[in-house]
Every structure is written in structure tokens, then in C-alpha cells.
């Protein structure tokens, strides 16, 4: 990317995401990628506004449907316990044994 060049929204949003993954300070990232720091900051504000708006519209409970089979065909061993991990939208995770009762699992998912 070059300074004094016009960028599409997709290009700038990609640059912001790549910066986040890099772990670099913004000024260093911009210098290494030949980006204007002030332009980068402008696009970052737009990106944050859009991200906030998108998150506000998202339902507060967004789970992926799961199917729990009635019988487990994977052999359980003492060295490798099998667990089900439930991750809630707020980042909290709950690990349950694969032998959990279906009704209890349903209640955990509904919370």
C-alpha cells in the first residue's frame, strides 16, 4: 500500500485486521506498510463504528445448533477423557463429560 493513495473499504479493513494480528504498534505497522498514519487512524475509527453497530444488531444468544447422539460410539479410556466444551458468547467455557445427561446439556445450552 502506498501513501497518498485512495483505498477501498475492504483494503483498509484488511490492513486493520492484519495490524491487529501483527501485534505491532500502529505507527510501526504503518511505516512498514507505507501507510499514512492519519489515514489509518481515520479508517480504524470507521472500522470500530461499523464493528460496534454490527455487534449491537447481533442477537445476544448466538449458538451453533448441536446434535447429541443417544449413544456414544467412541470408547472411553482413562488416559483420554472425552469432554464436551460449551463456549458462551461472553467467552466463558464449560467442560462437561461426554456422558452428561441430555436434559442437563440442553439446560446448559439454553442459559
Structural contact between residues 37 and 27, judged by C-beta atoms closer than 8 angstroms: yes
CA-wise closest residue to 43 among 11, 21, 20, 18: 11
Grid coordinates belonging to 9: 473499504
4 backbone φψ class: left, alpha, beta (φ>0; ψ -120 to 50): left
pLDDT of residue 88: 73
> Is 99's pLDDT higher than 60?
yes
The pLDDT of 54-64, averaged and rounded, is 60
Q: Regarding predicted confidence, which is higher, 36 or 103? A: 36
> Is 64's pLDDT higher than 70?
no
What is the C-alpha to C-alpha distance for residues 28 and 33, in angstroms, rounded to an integer? 9
Average pLDDT, the chain: 77
What is the C-alpha to C-alpha distance for residues 7 and 9, in angstroms, rounded to an integer? 6
The pLDDT of 90-104, averaged and rounded, is 79
pLDDT of residue 104: 82
What is the C-alpha to C-alpha distance for residues 111 and 36, in angstroms, rounded to an integer? 46
pLDDT of residue 3: 54
pLDDT of residue 28: 93
Q: Which of 7-16, 42-51, 69-78, 81-90 has the highest mean pLDDT?
A: 42-51
Amino acid at each position: 500500500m502506498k501513501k497518498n493513495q485512495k483505498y477501498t473499504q475492504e483494503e483498509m479493513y484488511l490492513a486493520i485486521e492484519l495490524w491487529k494480528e501483527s501485534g505491532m504498534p500502529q505507527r510501526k505497522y504503518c511505516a512498514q506498510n507505507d501507510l499514512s498514519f492519519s489515514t489509518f487512524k481515520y479508517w480504524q475509527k470507521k472500522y470500530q463504528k461499523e464493528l460496534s453497530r454490527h455487534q449491537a444488531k447481533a442477537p445476544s444468544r448466538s449458538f451453533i445448533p448441536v446434535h447429541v447422539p443417544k449413544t456414544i460410539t467412541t470408547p472411553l479410556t482413562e488416559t483420554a477423557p472425552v469432554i464436551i466444551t460449551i463456549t458462551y458468547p461472553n467467552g466463558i467455557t464449560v467442560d462437561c463429560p461426554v456422558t452428561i445427561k441430555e436434559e442437563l446439556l440442553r439446560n446448559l445450552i439454553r442459559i
